[in-house]
A and B are shown apart, each in its own frame.
Chain A
Amino acid sequence: MNVVRCDVAIVGSGAGGGTAALALAPLVSHGKRVLVLERGPRFQDGDFTGRELEMAGALYADEGGFLTRDGTMTLAFARGYGGSTLVYTGTSLLAPERVIRAWNVPGIDAEDLARRSRKYMEQNNVHLLEPERQNDNNRLFAEGAAGAGFHPEQFPLNLRGCRGSSLCNLGCPNNAKQGTDRVQLPAAERLGVEVVTRATVTRIEERRLRVVVSEKPPGAKGADPEWAPGEYAVEAGIVVLAGGVMGTTPLLLGSKLPGMPRRTGQGFTCHPAHILVGEHPEPITNDVGHPKSWFVDRAAEDGFVLETCMYFPFITAKNLTGFGAAHSALMRAFPRLQMILVLACDHATPENRITVDRRGAPVVHYRFTDAVIQAMVRATRASARIFFAAGAVRVHAPAAQPTLVEAHEVPQLEQRIHARHFRVGQVSISAAHLMGGCGMGTSAMDSVTDDRGRVHGHPWLRVADASLFPDSLEINPYLTIMALADRVAEGLMADLAG
């Protein structure tokens, strides 16, 4: 087995790992060796074709179809140089102050996170998209939301040179999204941080990682790995885990390190989401332009957030409840469809958690609470009002029976769209904002790490991704992940200096 020694090994290269890599890069000039180990490949510019099946297979674990244990929700998470920042839409929101206060983690305060987030907003060119570059799908949402009495807000986006392909979730074909693959990781590499792709960490031991570097499969996208394929032991003074919720927690649980906090894997939460569509009488621009420019935040009042979105034919078909002639008719109306993504704000509960199976593969135990179902139903009614206010003639609502709601039924929305029609297992629900599993707190009794991501009882081991969240963030999380990774890196630098 090859043995590699370094001072800091970062596992994962997404919002957390990429941020930590750049924040720790100054160590290199002090003679330290910093490694980033990324499970996925380093994609090349021509790899992003925008073809749905091809890109889902290349970018997402289980082609985006990873299922929770009872099969009622799919979880989307990407693998590659840049992690899930490859497939997000670049929405850049500050953590809500009320949420951070409710987290109640000593040392974590909203102002500090906001200050760090603003640094990354500047670094990643976050700005509001000009009105003339917004498509009808977004414009109708903003107009419909205002018309229906909501307060639409524009998403700050981290774009540079966006051509409006609408293909963000399949990896930007124009390198316009300023994820860690475009900003933090290349900068860190220029400063001497080494990034090794196709490198799967299979086990953590005391200050040591077992790593398998895989060959590039024939015909696969991406570059060859930087190291020769084979097994490696990476000996590291400090290990930073940033493989995302579906990477970090399963790795910790599978490694069976002695003395791990018993709460490891607990506190998993997410934003269960589904796509709603409204059918307009005339074609609209929906499959061109940035897909996600506007949102309505009702998290505090009603437990949901509505966002503009535009998905691809298969994902759209999968998200429409039912089948047969009505389903097909709606698909044929694709050029006339307006889309809204409904996200429910879920709170961590004891039964929702991550475990691993005998092979060390992640198993996500997730049960929909009544509160989440009620929030999704309220969100669906709100979306229907927005669609109709924007001029839609009918709306597809999974929590209605029949699922197509006509414009003349607006006065009956409370009855037409109701929790009694919302059946898990029948309605397609997915989540991309995965959080928790290694929550921050004060001791091993109530948490897995402290506020600087140090795993209780294991000062050489840190966590720097969304696993740290002790509860839902209730908004798109990547900027907060970066802010927390920045804190973790700062604490690590201070520990090394001290």
Chain B
Amino acid sequence: MSPPLRSALRALAISFVPETATATDAQWILLESRIEQALAARPAALRRQLALFLRLLDATARLRYRNRLSTLDAVRRTALLEWFAGSPVLRFRRGIWGLRTLILLGWYTQPSVIAALGYRASPAGWEARR
């Protein structure tokens, strides 16, 4: 993952899942590797569309706020993402949905995160609760 892409991804992650602002290095590494793995399994066209959409978000941030997406303050970045998420243009809504899905995948599949939520499903089922 290139440094600019990593910066943009981390900025997005903090907007989508505020807890990631205090993520440990190990949690960031796991988040990024899971996203990379998920993307590697997807068609090249989908990866291109997501990369293009990230560039569009960055260009919009520069145009509207004279700042890059990765260095934009949290309030403005969230406002920008919410505008795209609710846009009348289906491709924009889909773009946000796709990026958000990747971040959620990278975060909410981590054992430490799941444990912190209190999710306790176990193959042992009811016996594990006794």
List chain A positions with a Cβ less than 8 A from chain B. 48-50, 52-53, 62-63, 65, 70-72, 133, 162-167, 173-174, 283, 285, 287-289, 312-314, 316-318, 322-325, 327-328, 331-332, 334-335, 423-426, 428
Q: Is the interface of A mostly helix, strand, loop or mixed?
A: loop
Among all A-B residue pairs, the 4 with the closest Cβ atoms = A164-B125, A173-B123, A425-B93, A163-B125
Interface residues of B (CB under 8 A from A): 15-19, 34, 38, 41-42, 78, 81, 85-86, 90, 93-94, 96-98, 100-101, 104-105, 107-109, 113-114, 117-129
Task: Name the residue on A nearest B14 (C-beta).
Answer: A324
A314 x B108 contact (CB < 8 A):
yes
Please determine whether B124 and A165 come into contact, CB atoms closer than 8 angstroms: yes
Q: Known contacts A62-B41, A165-B124; decide if A323 and B129 are in contact (CB<8 Å).
A: no
- With both chains docked as a complex, state the minimum distance between the C-beta of B116 and any C-beta of chain A, in angstroms: 8
With a CB–CB cut-off of 8 A, which chain B residues contact A163? Answer: 123-127
Q: Quick check: B94 and A287 within 8 Å, CB to CB?
A: no
Complex Cα gap A162–B126 (Å): 10
Cross-chain contact B126 with A289 (CB below 8 angstroms): yes
Inter-subunit contact A428/B97 (CB<8 Å): yes
CB of B121 within 8 A of CB of A287, answer yes
Shortest distance between the CB of A229 and any CB in chain B (Å): 21
CB distance from A102 to the nearest CB of B (A): 32
A208 to B39, CA, bound (A): 36
Q: In terms of DSSP, what is the predominant structure of the interface of chain B?
A: helix
A residues in contact with B96, CB < 8 Å: 426
A426 touches B85 (CB 8 A): yes
Is A53 within 8 A of B119, CB to CB?
Answer: no
Known: A62-B41, A328-B18, A426-B97. A50 touches B109 (CB 8 A): no
Known A-B contacts A167-B123, A424-B90, A426-B93; A53 and B114 likewise in contact (beta carbons under 8 Å)? no
Docked Cα-Cα span, A318 to B106, in Å, equals 11
Q: How far is the CB of B53 from chain A (nearest CB, A)?
A: 12
Q: B122 to chain A: which residues have CB within 8 Å?
A: 50, 165, 288
Q: How far is the CA of A335 from the CA of B108 in the complex (A)?
A: 15
Q: Complex formed: what's the CA distance from A63 to B96 in Å?
A: 20
CB atoms of A323 and B15 under 8 A apart: yes
Residues of B within 8 A of A327 (CB): 16-17
Task: Indicate if the CB atoms of B100 and A323 lie closer than 8 Å.
Answer: yes
A323-B17, A425-B97 in contact; A289/B125 too (CB < 8 A)? yes
In the complex, are the beta carbons of B41 and A63 less than 8 A apart? yes
**Are A334 and B118 within 8 A (Cβ)?**
yes
Instruction: Please give the distance in Å from B60's CB to the nearest CB on chain A.
Output: 17
B113:A288 contact, CB within 8 angstroms: no
Closest to B99 in A: A323
Q: A313-B117, A314-B104 are in contact. Are A324 and B18 (CB under 8 A)?
A: yes
Q: A313-B109, A317-B107 are in contact. List 4 more A-B contacts (CB 8 A).
A: A165-B122, A313-B108, A331-B108, A425-B94
* A72 adjacent to B90 (CB under 8 Å): yes
On whether A70 and B104 interact (CB within 8 A), knowing A63-B38, A314-B109, the answer reads no
Contact A332/B123 with A72-B90, A288-B129, A425-B97 known, Cβ cut-off 8 Å: no
